Amino acid sequence: MKQSDVSTATFARDLGLFDATMIGVGAMIGAGIFVLTGLAAGEAGPASILAFALNGVVTLLTAFSYAELASAIPRAGGGYSFVRMAFPGAVGFLSGWMLWFAYTVACSLYALGFAGYFWELLQHYIPSTTEAISSVIGANPAILIFTLFIGAIFIWLNVRGAAVTGKAENVLTVSKLITLVIFIVFGLLVVFGEPQQVSENFTPFLPMGFSGVLVAMGLTFIAFEGYDLIATVAEEIKEPEKNIPRATFISLGIAVLIYLLVLFVSLAALNVPGESTWEFLGRFKETAIVHAADAFMPAFGVALIVLGGLLSTMSALNATVMAASRVAFSMGRDRWLPRRVSTIHEKRRTPHIAIILTGVILLVMALTLPIEAVGSSASLIFLLTFAMVNLSTIVLRRKHPNIPRKYRVPLYPVIPVLGFLLNIFLAVYQFNFQPIAWYITIGWIVVGLLLYYAVFEKEASQVEPQVLIPKRRAYETDREPSVIVALYNPDNIGVLLDLAVPEARRRGMRLMAVSVVHVPPQVPIHEGIRFAHHKESLLTKATKIAAERGITLETDLIVAHRASDGILAAVSRHNAAALIMGWKGYTNSRDRIFGEIADRIIRHATCDLMVLKIGQKKSFEHCLLPTAGGPNAQLASTMVGAFASELNMDVSACYVVADGAAEEEKQTGMRRMTEVLDDITPKVRSTKRIIESKSVAGGIARESRNYDLVVIGAAKEQFLKVMLFGEIPEKVARYSSSSVLVVKKYEGAVRSLVKRVFG
């Protein structure tokens, strides 16, 4: 066993490969494909499909870096965390400052996109309404009003704490994919029916020259932002070394394929007399795909695409408002923005000030900047951010070569260098066609640097050590078994360690103390770091007590939405052979046995369990060991032998018989107690007691009054949905005035089979 000086806060991992992939796909295939198809076609003509393909290649180069960094350093924050680790100080500050700006600009794009699609819906199905509005205030002011309205709604919803669950996000992403697949299928049917039309629509292929392709690449690069969000939730993904690279490349592959097919059918399936298809699409800009659907799909085509566009822009707007505000919140927490930005609403548990501040900026941008400048600004920021991530891959390889990297960028350093250069090239080239994007970006950087050096540099230096470098990545893939003690109440640390230490020594395993930071479901899990210091003090106290007793103790801190999930994650992460945890002795819910947390752990933990109800005395001298045979009772007697030797306890084995039981039954009990005590080391003082009682649990509970500790094996389970430890141990633990330790042996494959059968 190895003692840990610092307990590093980590998160419960409950996202699988599919969940992680859907995060990337859902973020990438959002409003971008609906809004940017016409813009790209207008700038590059048929070669816009080449622009999307090249953007896919550039993005893939950066995805290699994200895959390596996020799997090797699975910390919340994604690109911001990597750049900050590689370049602390002003550059680290700018990475967060620019990422906040980028997400906020993206919000503006999605708000404008929603307004455009909503106006198109009204114009197509209720033309009298749009005519009346246009006659009063005009079309453009009306769209800006819709933009203001939808932006305000989602700012308000985020302040209120409205959030879509992971399953709902998966359903929404699949729904958007189905919508686009239907669009693609109808377009391909037209293409296959009139193949000669394809060559006509794609000639000339480069009407604006290759410079048009570069313009379209810079304008549409924002559509390829999204897979990086997988890295922002890296600490919540199961088996990050495997699943993060897989999810990154799968989501990118799906998105690029969908993009290319949508653009291909939009260009190939249209037949516009007297006008080229790319000019037609370019003329309608952000609503071009709606007009394409109207041209080659049945009557429901427009409604389908408009609905898909509305859903996509709304989900993307909601997600990016949340993402942008969380970056601002994190910077406020790090004192790189005013501390009030990190304020959490007392009732709603949301960073309301960060959300409102982000919302004001996004609405100002949406109302004052043209959509081309908005999209180009967002693309520019993400290009610069991705360039820094590529550079961070190289820097971290040199600064921290000992960090285990199960996935490595192939052809290193060629790919990260190429990714860095291509991202920088596209960013610089954008000045040729959207200089306003550069002016805005440079202005934002200058303002950030002025604020940093004038206000935040001193504050930032105080929090910089909070960026912890993983010293021991074995925590992610522990193979050395351990005994875990789950800590919650600082007053009970010594009692739990008294029992955990002998068990760890008996097994010859390392001892691990674990504590969980509980985060309310409506609060993003990465914000749990804000409250980690409360549990850090708990683990620090445990380490101090262990050191005073000459005990080697490792510690781990886990952030989770459910405390039970955090403890189960620790069991898996640290390859636990046994877990000891406290129990308050009662539950307030009729449908719970030990309580919500304990019940879930008892059902799902893949290790031996010891649940301790702590009585009034916290030192153990006299132990009562009820026995009736079975694997749990055998494990209990083995543990008692270790406890008794370590704590100098005397042990009384007991066997309960009915009132007036025959002598033969009493002799059976004596034989069983003798067998149990023979397994305990001879140095332990021991006695045997036959207890006559109408109730087994009642007899043990009454007898326990004369003892400090009762150790009882769980009864043999009959029905997993009804009983966890069996009726007798539960009643003894609940009603005895002494400390009661209920022991349950893990049944391995048998238990897993029963769980599948009975649920």
Give the span between the Cα atoms of 127 and 133, in whole angstroms.
10
What pLDDT digit, counting tens, does each position of 678-713 carry? 777 667 788 888 988 888 888 888 888 889 899 988
Distances (CA, A) of 53 to 48, 261, 384: 9, 11, 20
- Look up residue 87 and give its two tokens: 């370049």
pLDDT at 9: 46
CB of 474 closer than 8 Å to CB of 614: no
Give the span between the Cα atoms of 697 and 705, in whole angstroms.
13
pLDDT interval class at 483 (50, 70, 90): very high
CB of 124 closer than 8 Å to CB of 306: yes
Q: Which domains are assigned to the chain? A: 9-460 (1.20.1740.10), 615-759 (3.40.50.620)
CB of 227 closer than 8 Å to CB of 65: no
- DSSP, collapsed to helix, strand or coil, labels residue 624 as strand
Give the span between the Cα atoms of 254 and 720, in whole angstroms.
42
pLDDT at 420: 92
Give the span between the Cα atoms of 569 and 560, in whole angstroms.
9
Residue from 666, 729, 661, 740 nearest 694 by CA:
661
Give the span between the Cα atoms of 45 and 318, in whole angstroms.
32
In this structure, are strands 554-560 and 510-518 parallel, antiparallel, or unpaired? parallel
CB of 565 closer than 8 Å to CB of 596: no
CB burial of 563-578 (b: ≥16 within 10 Å; e: otherwise) equals bbbbbbbbbebbbbbb
Give 741 or 533, the one with higher predicted confidence: 741
Residue from 370, 99, 48 nearest 221 by CA:
48
β-bridge mates for residue 514, sequence order: 486, 556
Give 259 or 124, the one with higher predicted confidence: 259
pLDDT at 468: 32
- Look up residue 511 and give its two tokens: 């001892």
**Angle in degrees, CA 44, 435, 319, rounded to 5:** 75
What pLDDT digit, counting tens, does each position of 76-101 carry? 556 777 787 788 778 888 888 888 88
State the average pLDDT over residues 631-651: 85
pLDDT at 458: 67
Give 500 or 286, the one with higher predicted confidence: 500
Residue from 683, 688, 613 nearest 648 by CA:
683
